[in-house]
Amino acid sequence: MDTTPAIEVSALVKVFAKRDKRTIRAVDGLSFQVPKGSIFGLLGPNGAGKTTTIRILTTLLAPTGGEARVMGYDVVQNPLAVRRQICVVVQESAIELHLSVQNNFRVFGRFHGLLADEIQRRTDRVSELFGLSEYLNEKGMDLSGGLKRRVQVAKTFLIDKPVVFLDEATTGMDTFNKRATIQAVKEESQKGRTIVLTTHVLDEAEVLCDSIAIMNHGKLVAQGSVDSVKAYGLRMMSLSMSLTEVSPSTIELVRTYQPISIDIKNTTLDITVKDDSTVLAILTAVRQHTEVRHFEITTASLEDVFIQLLDKKARTA
């Protein structure tokens, strides 16, 4: 059985020289692996180095140091072999504005070696999947931003490359199309394709990804399955309480337990804390102080962990 990972990144470094002679380490000693047939999410705030990493993996940029392999091919030594294994939704909106949607598909299919009949057959399938059938004869320049993005994403499902890179693919899409994209990504993964995505929408990553890596300032902050990364949050828990009234003294009381975050919506308090014992302590204290109509304890969301991890790193730095 072939156990070679779809993607192997080892001590990857990318340094950009600025005009004023300063240098920026956009990627700083990054290492991770992505198993074949899995969905991998690269998360992080703006400027974390996600897109630079994707650009190196898709042969758009050469790394300054370290190694990166896609399906066993080195991105520096054998970029053409890498390009034969991948299809990419780049972060920029990329569509042929002067061509119809149909011709956008035709050109993309030709570049990836499909014959005309096959392109037509697959165009029918993906245009139905992404709700593009009625726009096939529209020119790219006449489409809305969301539709352009949809065409761009749909193109990648026209071909069968083993690795798909989606850089902020759902940006600008409405809920319906986000859902269609997420569904399509899941189906493609089940067929054995490896999907690498970057996103700011953590809920999306939580629903889609088998494993994730969180980046900040070019470095890896956390890595593993969604559950294991959530566990990095040191048993972080969320407590949601509906009270008869939220008084300043109640909030002051909660603050004494040093929660990670407090969110107040009318008479509801959403609190994230470091561990389960703190949850129980807060709940007991608040019940003694005021009437709690309803409460719910859950493990923290990926977003809570994400914020906590980035905050912790920033404080350490």
Binding site for another protein (CB under 8 A): 55, 58-62, 80, 83-84, 86-88, 90, 92-99, 103, 106-107, 110-113, 139, 152
Give the integer Cα–Cα distance in Å for 198 and 209.
11
CB of 184 to another protein, least distance (A): 18
User: 291 near 227, Cβ under 8 Å?
Assistant: no
Q: How far apart are the first and last CA of the chain?
A: 43
If the CB atoms of residues 120 and 242 are measured against another protein, the closer one turns out to be 120
Sequential DSSP letters for 72-125: TEETTT-HHHHHTTEEEE-SS----TTSBHHHHHHHHHHHTT--HHHHHHHHHH
For the chain, state the CA radius of gyration.
23
If the CB atoms of residues 9 and 237 are measured against another protein, the closer one turns out to be 9
**Token pair of 126 as six digits:** 């993906």
Residue 102 CB coordination number (10 Å): 17
Amino acid identity, position 84: R
CB of 264 to another protein, least distance (A): 41
If the CB atoms of residues 85 and 299 are measured against another protein, the closer one turns out to be 85
If the CB atoms of residues 12 and 220 are measured against another protein, the closer one turns out to be 12
**Token pair of 155 as six digits:** 């193109």
CB of 266 to another protein, least distance (A): 43
CB of 51 to another protein, least distance (A): 11
Q: Of 150, 160, 93, 99, give the one whose Cα is nearest residue 127.
A: 150
DSSP class of residue 154? H
Give the integer Cα–Cα distance in Å for 273 and 248.
19
User: 269 near 240, Cβ under 8 Å?
Assistant: yes
CB of 153 to another protein, least distance (A): 12
If the CB atoms of residues 61 and 241 are measured against another protein, the closer one turns out to be 61
CB of 211 to another protein, least distance (A): 23
If the CB atoms of residues 106 and 178 are measured against another protein, the closer one turns out to be 106
CB of 111 to another protein, least distance (A): 4
User: Is residue 56 helix, strand or coil?
Assistant: helix
Residue 47 CB coordination number (10 Å): 14
**Token pair of 248 as six digits:** 């300043």
If the CB atoms of residues 73 and 306 are measured against another protein, the closer one turns out to be 73
CB of 106 to another protein, least distance (A): 7
If the CB atoms of residues 17 and 314 are measured against another protein, the closer one turns out to be 17
Give the integer Cα–Cα distance in Å for 64 and 15.
6
